[in-house]
A and B are shown apart, each in its own frame.
Chain A
Amino acid sequence: MVTLNSFLVLGAILFCIGLFGALSKRNAVAILMSIEIMLNAVNITLVGYSSAFMGHTHGERLTGQIFAIFIITVAAAEAAVALAMIIAIYRRRSTIDIGEINLMRW
């Protein structure tokens, strides 16, 4: 039986995996991938809520799903920009190790 809890547990597990990756990986591309995982975890949660709480109107019913689609779109754009930045950084400094990129340091 797939209940709301199943959605939420899956979302939470995915989110923690993503968070761990984002905070521990040194490779910028790996961090980007971890962030994508976190975003998708949120998507799962939204869709789960959307199917669990049936509203009275179409608008209410579909809010969570529409949000998920928005997030997918934004994530795509974000991935494009972030990859472009990573390539630019690589060209300049020959590394994508996030520990080496600390120009904003005091």
Chain B
Amino acid sequence: MDFVSYAWVIPALPLAAMILIFFGTRPLEMLARRRASGETAGAGHSAGHDHDASATDAHASPAVSAQGEDTHGASHSGGHSENGGATPFWAMAGSVIGVVAMVLAFFVAVGVLVEFLTTKDNNLIQHGQYIFLFDWFRFGNLDYTIAFRVDQLTAVMLVVVTGVSMLVHLYSIGYMEGDPGYSRFFIELALFTVAMLILVLGANFLVLFIGWELVGLSSYLLVGFWFDAAPEPPGSDLDLPYPPAAALKAFLTTRLGDFGFMIGILILFFSTGTFDFGALNSAATYTHVNQVALTAAMILVFCGAVGKSAQFPLHVWLPDAMAGPTPVSALIHAATMVAAGVYLVARLFPLYHFAAGPQSLEVVGYVGGFTALFAATIALVQNDIKKVLAYSTISQLGYMFVGLAVGPNNALGIFHLFTHAFFKALLFLGSGAVIHALGTQDMRKMGGLARYIPITAATFLVATLSISGFPFFAGFFSKDPIIGQAFDYGTTHGGNYTLYGLTIVTAFLTAFYMFRAYFLTFGGRYGQIAGFWGAERAYRGEAHPHPPSWVMWLPLVILAFPAALAGYWSSFANFLTKGATPAVNISDYINSAFSDKLTLIGIVVALAGIALAWLMYGVQALPAKVFTGNPIGKGIHALLMHKYYMDDLYRLIIKYVVLGLAHLTVLFDRYIIDGIVNGSGMAVRGLGAATRRTESGNTQGYGAAIFGGALIILLLLFFAVGVLKL
């Protein structure tokens, strides 16, 4: 089968599903709902109150439901299904359409990947498949083409996006059950997937940018999915974001990076005259290009990646994006939104690495390395399970950028993106199952949950081991090479081991905070197997946890396999670099992973992190007071709890700098712009007042003026041609 030439089917399938749900099942569902509400008068308006009703139902204990934050947490997520709000038939039909479309798209994507893995066609390997869709417009010599290009990088991304999206679709059937916006959710989910697929398929900057902006739009829609949720009551310490505000924050923060991105694209375009990635990435294009301009352009393009991939200082939107439903978080964090930035840098890797100055990749590396450590430290103290995962995503994305910056090719970063997609999706879907079971996301009200929801706990543990870099799990094979390469990078760059230090410390912190989250949620003191498994005594909450339905645990189980095993793709670098690096067989791969001293340091660090987390939260032999008891520790803890005051800093900047600037520009607008507008009006009126007197209504006056004027012109003409002389 010639899957590669039919790669356009992959985005077309979810697009078709989206259209079908939007124009087909959703109107039918609304009609059915109206008919039902007409029959049972008074029940019709219940849809809007589902949240509140379920929230109080979920917590039968008055002690819990009295707490504002808890009710809020439940209205955010969780207990929709508690009061038997079954999904209407047509809404269910719509979601089934979505899932089926995604399954088909996933199979086509796998077909594409397999074809790339098995092909002997050298042309296909080196250049990929170009799929021309249409000419947008031609302008002189410039061709603005809408076209796709499928190569190895795209093939990997296609499988990741469609695979994770497929499982998220399936999972959402359970998670969103009975939600009033059920159909809308699936429409937006499909749009999100389409946008990301367009982004990874695009053959030039134009198509990529269309996908890029669509991703931004759909993340806005999905983060603000519960736009009618009640704002957080004051005094809550979980700091749950208000969905509409979080959506706006996500959109505007990424927009800030996009500004640089657009300027970067335009600089590239003006210096090379092309948008096409194939042309941009070939060295011949750069023989006459100013190196400084190119470096600046690449750093500006990276600004877009910083916004989309939530790197410091534009990371602030990602933790707030937790306001969206948990499946959306899984999709954003694993496959779609944040992967876009990493993909962009990887796509332009030859440009960064060969054409532009070394400063461009240094910026990428140091921003990534700093962000990795920065976000990991914040994750240490979060009490919201989703917040921990959000900061871990930011941190892991930092790793990917470090991998791209220090690597000889883009395989290191993309490999980590590849494995991370699976275990992070698993972590988020697992946390969603927990939230669904309890109606809260506060880890202090959890503990010992492995007793109640063992499948979720086991799969969550797999993902936690993987992200911590525990040996033999996927994260180990993708993260340790980055740390090792960062060390080599330091050696070849005059002994500057900053990046190595950042990444290795982050590895320790990652293992620690991930296992902290695991112990607080599923294990903990009084648990079985030394706290690694749950027990009823370890549970600190009041609500009775109920196990997830099969549509929710099945994706977890499926994802657990790649989350554990994706690292064993030994010749990934060989595949991604089109054979430029030698293929490695699996036993050499594992041997080399363990023979390196650096790797052993990495393993020790990861184990140390796990051990510390176990001591502090597993058996609680080492109370947290040891660290927060003294003034310094307390200060650091407060600093981390306030996320380094970044949000407050932004608030101050907006309050004083942005609004101050706004006040200045208001003056400019009021006096200069309005002055010009009003002034021209005044001038016209004045002129009118002065000249209206000539309109006497006396016809003969007009006649005299016409003939007199003609006479004057005639005389002037005669003087001009010399018939008359003075």
Partners in one complex: yes
Residue in chain B with minimal CB distance to A102: B697
Give a binary string over A73-106; 1 marks a CB under 8 Å from any B CB, 0 the rest. 0000000000000000000000000110111111
Residue in chain A with minimal CB distance to B698: A102
| Interface residue from A24, A98, A106 paired with B699 (Cβ < 8 Å) | A98
**Contact call A22/B693, Cβ cutoff below 8 A:** no
Secondary structure call for the B interface:
helix
Residue in chain B with minimal CB distance to A105: B697
- The contact size tier of chain B is 10 to 19
Which residues of chain B from 679 to 708 have any CB-CB distance to chain A below 8 Å in the complex?
Answer: 692-693, 695-700, 703-704, 707
CA distance A15 to B504 in the complex (A): 105
**Contact call A104/B700, Cβ cutoff below 8 A:** no
| Interface residue from A19, A24, A102, A105 paired with B707 (Cβ < 8 Å) | A19
The reply to whether the CB of A23 lies closer than 8 angstroms to some CB of chain B is yes
Which residues of chain B from 641 to 694 have any CB-CB distance to chain A below 8 Å in the complex?
Answer: 692-693
Residue in chain A with minimal CB distance to B700: A23
CA distance A36 to B331 in the complex (A): 89
Residues of A within 8 A of B696 (CB): 102, 105-106
CA distance A62 to B125 in the complex (A): 84
Residue in chain A with minimal CB distance to B689: A106
Residue in chain A with minimal CB distance to B691: A106
Residues of A within 8 A of B703 (CB): 22-23
Residues of B within 8 A of A24 (CB): 700
CA distance A64 to B41 in the complex (A): 91
**Contact call A106/B697, Cβ cutoff below 8 A:** yes
Which residues of chain B from 425 to 455 have any CB-CB distance to chain A below 8 Å in the complex?
Answer: none
CB distance from B262 to the nearest CB of A (A): 54
| Interface residue from B693, B695, B700 paired with A98 (Cβ < 8 Å) | B700
Which residues of chain A from 14 to 71 have any CB-CB distance to chain B below 8 Å in the complex?
Answer: 19, 22-24, 31
With A106-B692, A106-B693 known to touch, is A99 a contact of B704 (CB < 8 Å)?
Answer: no
**Contact call B695/A106, Cβ cutoff below 8 A:** yes
**Contact call B704/A104, Cβ cutoff below 8 A:** no
CA distance A24 to B704 in the complex (A): 10
Residues of B within 8 A of A98 (CB): 698-700
CB distance from B443 to the nearest CB of A (A): 82
| Interface residue from A19, A22, A31, A99 paired with B698 (Cβ < 8 Å) | A99
Residues of A within 8 A of B697 (CB): 101-106
CB distance from B712 to the nearest CB of A (A): 15
CB distance from B698 to the nearest CB of A (A): 6
Residues of A within 8 A of B695 (CB): 104-106
CA distance A99 to B703 in the complex (A): 13
Residues of B within 8 A of A105 (CB): 695-698
Residues of A within 8 A of B698 (CB): 98-99, 102, 105
CA distance A90 to B703 in the complex (A): 22
CA distance A64 to B523 in the complex (A): 112
Residues of A within 8 A of B707 (CB): 19, 23
Residues of A within 8 A of B692 (CB): 106
Residues of B within 8 A of A31 (CB): 700
CB distance from A37 to the nearest CB of B (A): 14
Give a binary string over B394-421; 1 marks a CB under 8 Å from any A CB, 0 the rest. 0000000000000000000000000000
Residue in chain A with minimal CB distance to B703: A23
Residue in chain A with minimal CB distance to B707: A19
CB distance from B693 to the nearest CB of A (A): 7
Residue in chain A with minimal CB distance to B708: A23
Pick 5 A–B contacts, CB within 8 A, sort by A. Answer: A23-B707, A102-B697, A105-B695, A106-B695, A106-B696
Known: A105-B697, A106-B696. 16 other contacts (CB 8 A): A22-B700, A23-B704, A23-B707, A24-B700, A31-B700, A98-B698, A98-B700, A101-B699, A102-B696, A102-B697, A102-B698, A103-B697, A105-B695, A105-B696, A106-B692, A106-B693
Give chain B's interface residues, CB within 8 Å of chain A: 692-693, 695-700, 703-704, 707
A-B pairs, top 9 by smallest CB distance, nearest first, are: A105-B697, A102-B697, A106-B692, A106-B695, A104-B697, A23-B700, A23-B704, A23-B703, A98-B699
